[in-house]
Amino acid sequence: MVTAENVTHLDEQLSKPTVHATRTVKDTPGYRVFRVVNATLLVIIAGVTLYPFVNLVAQAFSSEAFINAGQVNLWPKGFNVTTFNLVMGDSMFWRNYQNTVYYTVVATLVAMVLTTTFAYAISKYHLKGRKVFIGIAVFTMFFNGGLIPNYVLVNELGLRNSVWAIALPNAISVFNLLVMKSFFENFSTELEEAAEIDGLSTYGKLWRIVLPLSKAVIATMVLFYSVSFWNSWFAAFLYMDHRELYPVTVYLRNLIAGATSVDGAAGSAEATQIAANVKAVTMLLTVLPIVCLYPFVQRYFVSGVMLGSVKQ
Amino acid sequence: MSTDGVTVGGGAPQAALAHDPVPAVAARGAVDAPQGPGGRAARKRRDGHMTWRRALRRDWQLYSLLVLPLLFFAVFRYVPMAGNVIAFRRFRPGGSIFGEEWVGLHYVRMFINDPTFWNVFQNTLVLGILSLVIIFPLPIVLALMLNELRSQRFKRIIQTISYLPHFMSIVIVAGLVFQLTAMRGTVNQIITAVGGAPIGFMQLPEWFRTVYISSEIWQTVGWGTILYLAALSTIDPQLYEAARIDGANRWRQTWHVTLPGIRPTMVVLLILNIGSFMAVGFEKILLLYNPLLYPTADVIATYLYRVGIGSSQFSYATAIGLFEAIIGLTLVLSANAISRRVVGASLW
């Protein structure tokens, strides 16, 4: 049975003492060399993974002249925060940032309600037609309408320029649905039966017994959904016609697209580099919430994936 | 590996939101539907004979919970699927979403005779094959490397760092690619430092595949290790013990115990990767490419995006998208069938 307690600790399975822990034989010299090489390689891989972020921070705090000269790599040169003032003074940036927060909250709420109710119902083995309902969901992972029919539909429903164009077409991720379903399947039947004897309806059981004891999986799902909505840009790019409606990702996309066209046209070097600096600052401000939260919530993501893949 | 969902359709909007953290696992969850505890089998047999009327009367509250989600699937998944008929019908903007009148295979013939289509088809195949051959094995290698670490703390730090790029918006990833490959960017500084001439990476079609695959490696490989690490942690330690007694060194233990132990995971992920083969990184390419790069960067999904949304040729673009989706579905079904017959592992 999965309890809230061990869901949060599922990820620790990943790093539980490895299978080689019992060591009666001494390592051969060859293996000792391998271990040193292996650890070194992993440090290099971690360094390469982090480098783009380090470079981003360095460029964000550097002056255009030094970026222009190709001298900014690990550390800012010509330290200044004027571009920060410039970007943060742009009311459209903040407007779009607010939109991102709003879209993420609404879309995540809708997604959670739909995913939770569907997952709970199809987690009941005795439900007639359960397999059909699961099939309806799973089939969409392998085949879907494609870009144009979806586009036509959203326009036809009049969802353009509203949060619903972002929230509704992506309301259920089948992956998340299956994760929740497998969690509910392992929920204590005794508890639910006891609640039933006490006269609770299905709604009552879900609301008062199951959900309060599923906080960990709910937190994981909220994180999955909110990160994906926070990061999304394409739906807004397709369906939002006014600058005031863009999320910050589309703001950033337009900035990058503009900058590259200057780059490609070999325009004035100065214009290109100002763009590079502004770009760096905007990118930094966009990723900041995620990078700051990430170390604290990472384990939930890992446990969510484990829950979806490992047989309990 | 695709950063999109496992959705096969050509750059569908739901692929736009990379909901699925590790797309691959999804189907595994479906496969591994846990077996119920004792007594469930008996109840199931009874249910087999239950009429819908009785089932509805007993479980109407559960069924009521299904209404909204089923409505969602009907409207936003199955109606667009049916909407694919406009590939065979003339579509008038503002008219029915299912088109006006039948035109048969007109639009199919149109793309078969469209040289640009065959160019983007070829680009899609090349990027798909490169992703499969280069990116698919890397998480396995990284997971094996992490598995050899004894310090759990060190392992955790490396894992945490390697997962980070997965949580970045694709827009940020594209921005970082532009930043690093700029004429004065880090990559060109290294090239100049070793005596080369700076390369205009984002203007030269011959470099696009390298840039794209590198950014995919950066973004997906770390997170891709999770499932392998999970599989590794379930291997029975006694197997290693036995191998050691038989005189197997570390290398042979890896070959004869570790790799067979994670084979089912490898097979499932491979099938899913083959399934998403045609839907190569639509959003990323859309953000990265420009007309100079079309000779190598333009793929089916981006082409149908320009044809459909850009030039409003809805029927033509739908025909291309349907073709792509059918190839994708065929690929995943055949990979699954082959795998079931050859290695005995499959999605369903």
Which CATH number fits the domain that encloses residue A148? 1.10.3720.10
Query: Would residue A9 count as lying in a domain?
Result: yes
Burial class (CB in 10 A: 0-12, 13-18, 19+), B151: exposed
The reply to whether B122 falls in a domain is yes
Residue A22 lies in a domain: no
Nearest to B62 among A15, A121, A176 (CB): A121
- Nearest Cα of chain A lies from the Cα of B342 at a distance, in angstroms, of 22
The reply to whether A126 touches chain B by the CB within 8 Å rule is: yes
In a domain, B44, yes or no: no
Within 8 A of A67 by CB-CB distance, chain B residues are 184
Q: Is residue A79 part of a domain?
A: no
In a domain, B88, yes or no: no
Which of A:55-74 have CB within 8 Å of B?
A: 55-56, 59, 67-70, 73
CA distance A252 to chain B (A): 7
Write out the H or E segment, with its range, that includes residue A242.
Answer: none
| In-domain check, residue B104 | no
Asked, for residue B347, whether it belongs to a domain, the answer is: no
For residue B125, the enclosing domain spans: 13-33+110-342
CA A93 remoteness from chain centre: 21
Residue B89, beta-bridge partner list: B102
Number of domains in chain A: 1
A26 touches chain B (CB under 8 A): no
Question: ipTM score of the complex?
Answer: 0.84
CATH number at residue B247: 1.10.3720.10
Prediction pTM value: 0.83
pLDDT tens over chain A, length 312 residues: 344 344 444 444 444 444 454 455 567 888 889 899 999 999 999 999 999 999 999 988 887 777 777 777 888 887 887 788 888 888 888 999 999 999 999 999 999 999 999 999 999 998 889 999 999 999 998 888 889 999 999 999 999 999 999 999 999 999 899 989 988 988 888 888 888 888 888 888 888 888 998 888 898 899 889 999 999 999 999 999 998 999 999 999 988 887 444 333 344 444 444 567 888 888 999 898 888 888 888 888 887 777 766 543
Number of separate domains in chain B: 1
Q: Is residue A213 part of a domain?
A: yes
The values of phi and psi at residue B38, to 5°, are -55, 150
Determine the residue among B32, B56, B65 to mutate to test chain A binding: the one whose Cβ has the most chain A Cβ atoms within 10 Å. Answer: B65
Asked whether residue A129 is domain-assigned, the answer is yes
In a domain, B256, yes or no: yes
Which two three-digit tokens encode residue B320? 């291309």
Residue A280 lies in a domain: yes
Question: Could you write out the DSSP letters of every residue in B253-265?
Answer: HIIIIIHHHTHHH
Q: Does residue B3 belong to any structural domain of this protein?
A: no
The answer as to whether B244 is a domain residue is yes
A299, closest residue in chain B (CA to CA): B160
Cβ contacts of B182 on chain A, cutoff 8 Å: 263, 276
Does any domain span residue A106?
yes
Alpha-carbon distance of A157 to A165, in angstroms, equals: 9
Q: Is B316 exposed, middle or buried (0-12, 13-18, 19+ CB in 10 A)?
A: buried
Q: Are B4 and B281 in contact (CB under 8 A)?
A: yes
